[in-house]
Amino acid sequence: MYKNEEEFLAAYDSNAFEKLSMTTDILLLSVSTKAEENYRKSSKKYMSILLVKRDDYPFKDKWCLPGGFLDIHEDLEDCPKRILARETNLHNIYLEQLYTFGSINRDPRMRVVSTSYIALVDKNKLQEKLHKNASWFNVTYFESEKDVLVILDNGKEQIKFTIGKTLKEQTTDRYKFTVLENDSLAFDHPLVIWSGIERLKNKIGYTHIVFNMMPKYFALGDLQQVYEVILNKKLLDPAFRRMIADKVEKTEYVKTGEGHRPSVLYKYKKGKN
């Protein structure tokens, strides 16, 4: 045995276990807007995610989440920050660790464990010079008891995949997800996408993270639509306004020119409400 820790460390063989590579994948979520033909109608909203087309093997020409290898001299949380900065030119994006995926064969090249992160942005804050090969896809999903069909659409291409849900333990309401169908997405990214959407759906209810997807000033109707698009269901106006009341603050600004009654603009009100 060794006399002290220094001596131990000096003699330590760090290759006793075969080492591996790590990556981080980022599920960048935002809300996009599509104008309606009817000038009176307010524009339709979609949840949207950023995908990158791979221009090299493996999974050449398939879409995937932005990501990259963890540098050995880099904190784990700095890796997604670096990738986001590269992809969006934005700093101070909301980031949250999602899950670490580590099946043996998830990468055909070699053993890679990947920690995925959720990032939330207001798309309009992005200067629209996206990294080449990157594209926003609108997300639509149809959920049943057993599975979910997810459809991603960027206006030119449509990507579909199906996730199966099975109760993980008898004693949990949480599901274990498996990919049932997937032709167009690289790696286990359908899993990452759906896990992230589930997380967002949950957290929107008991945190204030939505405001990371909103501009500084917003109408309550727009905020409500963001909730609706994430939760995939209609909400009742009075209930929504009661729920949100102490999280927002009225401003002097008003949004007009929409073909109907103008709406007062609000801003996020800090504090634990």
Given the rule CB under 7 A, which residues bind DNA? 38-42, 219-222, 236-239, 241-243, 256-264
Does 270 help bind a copy of itself (rule: CB under 8 A)? yes
List the single partner that 243 binds among DNA, a copy of itself, none, CB under 5 to 8 Å by kind.
DNA
By beta-carbon proximity to DNA, the closer residue of 41 and 168 is 41
Q: What's the closest the beta carbon of residue 96 comes to DNA, in angstroms? A: 24
Restricting to residues 199-258, name those near a copy of itself by CB under 8 A.
206-212
The amino acid sitting at 256 is: T
Is 10 a binding residue for a copy of itself by CB under 8 A? The answer is no
CA quadruple 41, 197, 77, 185: dihedral sign: negative
Peptide bond into 58 cis (omega under 30): yes
Q: Which is nearer to a copy of itself, 52 or 152 (CB)?
A: 52
Q: Is 1 in the site for a copy of itself (CB under 8 A)?
A: yes
Compute the distance between CA of residue 208 and CA of residue 271 in angstroms, rounded to an integer. 10
153 class by beta-carbon count within 10 Å (0-12 exposed, 13-18 middle, 19+ buried):
middle
How many angstroms separate the CA atoms of 21 and 143, rounded?
35
According to DSSP, residue 12 is labeled -
Number of CB atoms found within 10 A of residue 112's CB: 20
- Shortest Å, Cβ 85 to a copy of itself: 17
Least Å from the CB of residue 267 to a copy of itself: 12
Q: Which is nearer to DNA, 122 or 258 (CB)?
A: 258
* Secondary structure (3-state) at 135: strand
> Please, which residue, 141 or 253, has the CB nearer to DNA?
253
> Which two structure tokens, joined as six digits, stand for 53?
């087309």
Residue 169, binding choice from a copy of itself, DNA, none, Cβ under 5 to 8 Å by partner class: a copy of itself
